């Protein structure tokens, strides 16, 4: 990111940039900043945008070879193309010696670093990865957004906001905007405001459900389940998230038993450190054998539903009853 900011500041651009990683908000922010800077404040006559997996590479080459109209650069933005996972030889060959007036900005969630196009862009241009941000970074970012509005937010409110929204920055921004509008006349966002305004992710409800199961609180766990059903959440979607949760807990427990600390566990699991900490805390309430069996039971429950042996609502209900008495 720092390199891109420097290029924008100096106007000394590479001919190709690849923005990749799971954090859509940051990728989109830098895509737009690069696009605007490369156009030099001019109109969009020399801008071409493509998205999806059916983009014609020969067409891209022809476009890149076309001289820009009354401008220094022709800017080509390509998103979610899948070209960095295979089948990009035409463009990879071209980008070894592109037209000096053609500038490419690629934005991809997933890439294969062994891919030919990836290697060419790495050699000839610049690659920036935008992964999940850690708690401290998100906390500073949230505080900055709130300050721009002339408001304040206490640390406990930030922590609750992150718990409810997760680490997806676009989701955080939308929920924070709701809080700002709600608290505009007071100038400060509190935990009560976040609790009142912010939408809680389905995965959080499942996390709470597993907490109740670990504590043997069958009634509370089932109440959460029935609440989700009342909100029209499909039982199989809930089962999938329960299975995913047990899988993450098993990973956290096994890594902890190997002596890894929270930072190393977060890296191994591909989640933010504060989320890894929550998995570690919850996993401590279960034996490893119980978590393994829970995963097997989740698979069996899905199979039983698909083969018509039991209804989807009851399959999840029985699973939860079982694991509210075993830990």
- Of 246, 150, 240, 142, nearest to 194 (Cα)? 142
- Of 111, 18, 36, nearest to 75 (Cα)? 36
Q: Find the mean pLDDT for residues 183-190.
A: 90
**pLDDT, tens digit, 9 for 90 and up, residues 116-172:** 999 999 999 999 999 888 888 999 999 999 999 999 998 899 988 998 888 889 999
pLDDT of 208 reads 87
Q: Which residues form the domain of 52? A: 2-129
Tell whether the model's pLDDT for residue 327 goes beyond 60: no
141 and 233 in a single domain? The answer is no
pLDDT of 326 reads 65
pLDDT band per the 50, 70, 90 thresholds, residue 40:
confident
The CATH number given to whatever domain includes residue 235 is: 1.20.272.10
pLDDT of 138 reads 92
166 and 74 in a single domain? The answer is no
pLDDT of 249 reads 94
278 and 293 in a single domain? The answer is yes
124 and 154 in a single domain? The answer is no
pLDDT of 292 reads 94
Q: How many domains does the chain have?
A: 3
121 and 10 in a single domain? The answer is yes
60 and 90 in a single domain? The answer is yes
pLDDT band per the 50, 70, 90 thresholds, residue 87:
confident
DSSP state of 19: E
pLDDT band per the 50, 70, 90 thresholds, residue 222:
very high
Domain boundary among 77, 98, 129: 129
pLDDT of 270 reads 81
316 and 238 in a single domain? The answer is yes
CA distances from 104 to 17, 56, 122, 256 (A): 6, 15, 13, 44
**Which pTM does this prediction carry?**
0.70
CA distance 288 to 93: 51
DSSP state of 96: T
Domain boundary among 74, 105, 129: 129
209 and 310 in a single domain? The answer is yes
């Amino acid at each position: 990111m720092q390199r891109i900011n420097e290029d924008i500041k100096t106007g000394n651009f590479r001919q190709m940039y690849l923005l990749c990683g799971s954090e859509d908000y940051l990728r989109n922010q830098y895509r737009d900043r690069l696009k605007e800077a490369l156009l030099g404040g001019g109109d969009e006559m020399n801008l071409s945008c493509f998205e999806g997996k059916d983009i014609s590479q020969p067409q891209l080459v022809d476009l890149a070879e076309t001289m820009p109209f009354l401008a220094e650069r022709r800017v080509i933005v390509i998103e979610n193309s899948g070209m960095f996972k295979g089948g990009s030889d035409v463009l990879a060959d071209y980008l070894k010696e592109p037209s000096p007036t053609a500038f490419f900005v690629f934005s991809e969630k997933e890439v294969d670093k062994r891919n030919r196009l990836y290697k060419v862009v790495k050699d000839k241009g610049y690659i920036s990865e935008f992964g999940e941000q850690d708690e401290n970074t998100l906390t500073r970012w949230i505080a900055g957004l709130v300050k721009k509005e002339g408001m304040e937010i206490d640390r406990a409110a930030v922590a609750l906001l992150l718990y409810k929204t997760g680490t997806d920055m676009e989701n955080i921004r939308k929920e924070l905007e709701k809080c700002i509008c709600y608290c505009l006349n007071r100038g400060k966002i509190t935990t009560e405001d976040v609790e009142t305004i912010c939408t809680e992710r389905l995965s959080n409800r499942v996390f709470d459900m597993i907490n109740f199961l670990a504590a043997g609180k069958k009634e509370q766990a089932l109440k959460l389940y029935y609440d989700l059903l009342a909100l029209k959440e499909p039982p199989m979607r809930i089962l999938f998230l329960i299975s995913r949760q047990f899988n993450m807990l098993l990973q956290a427990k096994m890594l902890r038993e190997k002596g890894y600390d929270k930072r190393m566990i977060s890296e191994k699991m591909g989640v933010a450190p504060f989320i890894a900490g929550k998995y570690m805390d919850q996993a401590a309430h279960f034996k490893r054998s119980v978590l393994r069996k829970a995963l097997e039971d989740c698979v069996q429950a899905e199979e039983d539903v698909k083969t018509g042996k039991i209804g989807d609502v009851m399959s999840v209900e029985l699973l939860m009853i079982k694991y509210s008495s075993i830990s």
